[in-house]
């Protein structure tokens, strides 16, 4: 590695990087100027205003993209053996960043492609996703792919602060090219995941660039970078299939809101801002799952059998009462017997429509039945036996009945129009409806589902059921207030508020402007015109539109921690991607939910059969070898056939354990807080996580928060977070303290899986606080805690006695 401002090599690279930033600034300034000019356009026709809004939206997206790639713009250089220089590509696109001589070629690799404004659009920088950039990630000494030298360029802001070179020209089998990777792996963690564009490894690159079609499952143990790989694959697909995916969008599904916050900056840092990140429980527009739920009932709701339960619940709402339907028409009672009502229901079902879509069909049949019964009251002609009422008479009766509130109410009672929330609330709130719809569940299981009274909010496990209900019911048919008129009235209201905010006291003057010329002079519109413009040009990104539309079909879906999804959640996710273009990443050994998957076959067989591909990541980049040894002991207990990923580095520090003098919840919490505080004080720049069984979570958060009463983010003091294994899934920290590992196994939904997750979160150091006199069973490689003074509430153990 070369570093420091004195190096001629660094000075040369600095000069080139300065030129790249100058070009980036020029492009950004041009885009900002074009955006300002577009927004300042006045005196436009209605069509012109629509075109202005669309143009402004696209220019704003371009400015955001150019802003996003500012940090780490250029991170690599390839010195190639001489051949013709590749041409083609856009300013931000295909192949760029080559410099050629008679016998050699140099390619600079970065976050996007840049070309010079020299009339020939000379390439300056290759987008990392372009084919010409791939040797940067896959070239080796044995297979150099025409690469003579690969250079890693490290920057801070716009300043080059270091370079690492790998020389392939000698044909040796060993090349010292790990410096850039190791520096990235050992850097202090923050509360946001960073992209791995400068350090993508060959096996990761193969997954990122895998063919687009079908379902790709990426199996990888902790620390293999599967989450980063999945996100970079999404960015790669957006680059290679921009036209299609820009319209349909990409969905990234994560396990928790904390996890999504952690990964939320990765795709924007790669210039991709049109991707929707969501947990499964946020994929039903209009519903936010805020209510907690026992694991037992959540597991039942996640079973595939609940699809049949909901279908039966819909049929149950179509079942006529035993006494039939009783009405009073023209002050005379009229009864449609149960058998006749059942016949109408059966004929309606034969239409093959979803429940709500079939409501008009049932209403029509019900009216026909009533007309026939009313006509029967008038009898027949005594001479020839023909009905006394003619066709015209019957049509008049039908029209009158169709407007009779009692008739309409009776039809709605027999075949009610239902919303998903009404159906599910009615099912869970009634023991009788649960018994009718779920005879296959035990009485205890139905009792676990029963939720008497109005639901006090929805749970995460309810959301897939609501989505299933929506699929069974179909949209609400026309009737009552026109939905379009209601939507337009709301749009006008919002537009009026926007005018009030934008123009203050002048808003009324604008609203009352008398002619188009006066409005044009202001470049303003009244609320109705503004609402009309917004209705005609939807400038939301595909991600924003998709978030509000349950029926949106995404072009590609990424599911992280895919082993956690229940069968009902998979039905919801699969509906979001009818093309089945998906990247699923996870680790079966880390399954933490009771309804999670036991195998990928189990997950995918109901949806794609055996039409899916498996890619495995085998190298562990996160865990030091010392920590990986401890975790491997748990993995062997989970599945003896599974091989732990190979660790690429050692930290030089053995994981340790301590015996807690006080094994009560308060004592464990206090001991954990003090150990975490000591670790934090010793290394203030590091993030420390205290991972505890869920039953100890509240106590531990109080103890840690008490360390700094003014700071309580996620239950932790500054630099310290307190989580249970489910909340920690997918996250990483510099140092991790696992509290009461044996209780974590006995109380966790997935037992050893929860402990495995907890042990595999650290990038540097691992410690365990354990109430027993002997080390935790089945955890090899533990030592006592060296070099730390005795702490209150924690009994020091001798290293020799602490070894298992």
Is 509 domain-assigned?
Answer: yes
d(CA 408, CA 417): 12
For residue 57, what are the CA distances in angstroms to 41, 48, 63, 531, 615? 14, 14, 10, 17, 38
Is residue 576 located within the same domain as residue 436? no
Is 357 domain-assigned?
Answer: yes
Is residue 334 located within the same domain as residue 274? no
Half-sphere exposure of 319 (CA within 13 A, CB side): 12
User: To 5 degrees, how large is the angle CA 232–CA 238–CA 241?
Assistant: 135
Is 193 domain-assigned?
Answer: no
Q: Which residue among 603, 620, 637 closes a domain?
A: 620
Is residue 41 located within the same domain as residue 172? yes
Residue 517: pLDDT band (50, 70, 90) is: very low
Q: Torsion-angle region of residue 63: left (phi > 0), alpha (psi -120 to 50) or beta?
A: alpha
d(CA 411, CA 359): 9
Residue 718: pLDDT band (50, 70, 90) is: low
19 phi and psi angles, rounded to 5 deg: -65, -40
d(CA 264, CA 734): 20
Is residue 206 located within the same domain as residue 169? no
- Both structure tokens of 65: 């993209």
Residue-wise pLDDT for 27-84, tens only, equals 999 999 999 998 888 777 777 777 887 788 788 888 888 988 888 899 999 999 864 4
Residue-wise pLDDT for 746-778, tens only, equals 987 778 889 999 999 999 999 999 998 888 888
Is residue 240 located within the same domain as residue 364? no
Residue 439: pLDDT band (50, 70, 90) is: very high
CB 306 within 8 A of CB 568: yes
d(CA 367, CA 399): 9
At 312 the pLDDT is: 97
Q: Which of 35-39, 94-98, 582-586 has the highest mean pLDDT?
A: 582-586
Residue 575: pLDDT band (50, 70, 90) is: very high
- Domain count for the chain: 5
Is residue 90 located within the same domain as residue 41? yes
d(CA 428, CA 411): 25
Which residue carries 């010329």 as its tokens? 517
Q: Which residue among 620, 642, 660 closes a domain?
A: 620
Is 374 domain-assigned?
Answer: yes
Is residue 582 located within the same domain as residue 718? no
Is 645 domain-assigned?
Answer: yes
CB 163 within 8 A of CB 1: yes
- Binding site for ATP, by residue number, is 220-227
Residue-wise pLDDT for 650-703, tens only, equals 888 899 999 988 989 999 999 999 999 998 888 888 899 999 999 999 999 999
How buried is residue 436: exposed, middle or buried, by Cβ count under 10 Å (0-12/13-18/19+)? middle
Which residues 6+ apart lie within 8 Å of 700 measured at CB?
668, 669, 672, 673, 690, 692, 715, 722, 739
DSSP 77: E
Range in 417-421, 507-511, 629-633 with the lowest mean pLDDT: 507-511
d(CA 725, CA 761): 10
132 phi and psi angles, rounded to 5 deg: -65, -20
CB 464 within 8 A of CB 566: yes
Is residue 156 located within the same domain as residue 10? yes
d(CA 402, CA 35): 56
Residue-wise pLDDT for 450-481, tens only, equals 998 766 789 999 999 999 999 999 998 765 44
At 153 the pLDDT is: 93
The residue range of the domain holding 512 is: 483-544
Taking each helix axis as running N to C, give the angle between helix 355-377 and helix 338-349, from 0 to 180 degrees, rounded to the nearest 10: 140
Is residue 65 located within the same domain as residue 212? no
d(CA 778, CA 296): 28
Cβ burial 760-771 (10 Å sphere, 16+ → b, else e): bbbbbbbbbbbb
CB 329 within 8 A of CB 400: no
Is 751 domain-assigned?
Answer: yes
Is residue 519 located within the same domain as residue 582? no
Q: Torsion-angle region of residue 342: left (phi > 0), alpha (psi -120 to 50) or beta?
A: alpha
Range in 519-523, 587-591, 599-603, 664-668 with the lowest mean pLDDT: 519-523
DSSP 86: P
The CA R_g of the chain, rounded to the nearest whole Å, is 33
End-to-end CA separation in angstroms for the chain? 41
State what percent of residues in the chain have pLDDT above 90.
48
- Binding site, by residue number, is 220-227
Q: Which is nearest to 660 in space by CA: 756, 741, 747?
A: 741
CATH number of domain containing 232: 3.40.50.300
């Amino acid at each position: 590695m070369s570093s420091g401002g004195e190096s001629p090599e660094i000075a040369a690279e600095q000069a080139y990087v300065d030129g790249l930033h100058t070009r980036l600034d020029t492009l950004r300034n041009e885009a900002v100027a074009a955006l300002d000019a577009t927004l300042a356009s006045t005196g436009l026709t209605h069509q012109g205003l629509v075109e202005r809004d669309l143009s402004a939206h696209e220019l704003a997206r371009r400015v955001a993209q150019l802003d996003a790639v500012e940090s780490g713009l250029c991170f690599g250089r390839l010195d190639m053996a001489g051949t013709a220089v590749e041409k083609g590509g856009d300013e931000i696109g295909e192949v760029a960043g080559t410099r050629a001589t008679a016998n050699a070629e140099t390619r600079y690799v970065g976050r996007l492609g840049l070309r010079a404004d020299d009339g020939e659009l000379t390439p300056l920088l290759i987008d990392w996703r372009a084919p010409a950039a791939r040797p940067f990630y896959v070239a080796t000494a044995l297979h150099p792919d025409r690469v003579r030298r690969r250079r890693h360029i490290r920057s801070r802001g716009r300043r080059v602060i270091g370079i690492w070179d790998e020389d392939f020209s000698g044909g040796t089998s060993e090349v010292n090219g790990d410096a850039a990777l190791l520096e990235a792996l050992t850097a202090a963690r923050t509360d946001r995941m960073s992209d791995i564009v400068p350090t993508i490894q060959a096996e990761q690159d193969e997954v990122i660039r895998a063919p687009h079609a079908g379902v790709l499952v990426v199996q990888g143990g902790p620390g293999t970078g599967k989450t980063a790989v999945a996100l970079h694959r999404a960015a790669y697909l957006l680059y290679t299939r921009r036209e299609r995916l820009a319209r349909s969008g990409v969905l990234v599904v994560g396990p928790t809101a904390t996890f999504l916050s952690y990964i939320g900056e990765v795709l924007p840092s790669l210039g991709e801002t049109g991707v929707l990140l969501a947990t499964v429980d946020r994929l039903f527009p209009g519903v936010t799952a805020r209510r907690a739920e026992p694991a037992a009932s959540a597991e039942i709701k996640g079973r595939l059998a609940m699809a049949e339960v909901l279908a039966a619940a819909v049929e149950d709402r179509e079942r006529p009462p035993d006494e039939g339907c009783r009405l009073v028409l023209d002050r005379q009672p009229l009864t449609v017997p149960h058998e006749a009502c059942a016949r109408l229901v059966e004929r309606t079902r034969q239409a093959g429509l979803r429940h709500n879509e079939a409501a008009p069909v049932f209403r029509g049949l019900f009216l026909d039945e009533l007309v026939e019964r009313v006509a029967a009251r008038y009898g027949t002609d005594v001479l020839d036996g023909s009905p006394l009422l003619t066709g015209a008479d019957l049509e008049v009766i039908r029209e009158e009945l169709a407007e009779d509130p009692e008739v309409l109410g009776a039809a709605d009672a027999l075949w009610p129009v239902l919303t998903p929330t009404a159906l599910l609330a009615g099912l869970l709130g009634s023991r009788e409806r649960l018994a009718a719809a779920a005879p296959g569940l035990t009485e205890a299981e139905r009792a676990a589902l029963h939720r008497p009274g109005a639901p006090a909010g929805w749970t995460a496990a309810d959301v897939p059921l609501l989505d299933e209900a929506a699929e069974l019911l179909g949209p609400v048919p026309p009737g009552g207030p026109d939905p379009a008129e209601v939507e337009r009235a709301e749009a006008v209201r919002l537009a009026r508020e926007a005018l009030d905010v934008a123009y203050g006291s002048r808003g009324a003057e604008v609203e009352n402007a008398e002619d188009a010329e006066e409005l044009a002079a202001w470049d303003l519109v009244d609320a109705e015109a503004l609402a009309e413009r917004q209705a005609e040009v939807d400038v939301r990104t595909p991600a924003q539109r998709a978030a509000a539309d349950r029926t949106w079909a995404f072009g590609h879906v990424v599911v992280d921690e895919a082993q956690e999804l229940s069968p009902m959640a998979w039905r919801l996710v699969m509906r979001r991607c009818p093309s089945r273009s998906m990247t699923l990443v996870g680790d079966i050994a880390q399954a933490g939910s009771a309804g999670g998957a036991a195998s990928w076959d189990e997950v995918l067989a109901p949806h794609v059969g055996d039409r899916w591909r498996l890619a495995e990541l085998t190298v562990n980049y996160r865990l030091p070898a010392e920590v990986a040894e401890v975790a491997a002991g748990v993995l062997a207990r989970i599945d003896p056939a599974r091989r732990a990923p190979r660790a690429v580095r050692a930290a030089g520090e053995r994981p340790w354990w301590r015996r807690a003098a006080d094994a009560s919840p308060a004592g464990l919490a206090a001991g954990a807080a003090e150990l975490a505080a000591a670790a934090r004080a010793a290394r203030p720049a590091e993030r420390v996580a205290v991972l505890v069984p869920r039953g100890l979570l509240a106590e531990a958060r109080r103890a840690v928060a008490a360390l700094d009463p003014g700071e309580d983010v996620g239950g932790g003091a500054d630099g310290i977070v307190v989580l249970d294994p489910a909340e920690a899934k997918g996250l990483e920290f510099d140092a991790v303290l696992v509290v009461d590992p044996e209780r974590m196994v006995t109380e966790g939904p997935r037992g050893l899986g929860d402990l495995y997750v907890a042990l595999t979160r650290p990038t540097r150091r691992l410690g365990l606080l354990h109430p027993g006199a002997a080390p935790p069973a089945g955890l090899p490689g533990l030592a006592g805690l060296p070099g730390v003074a005795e702490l209150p509430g924690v009994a020091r153990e001798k290293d020799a006695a602490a070894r298992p």
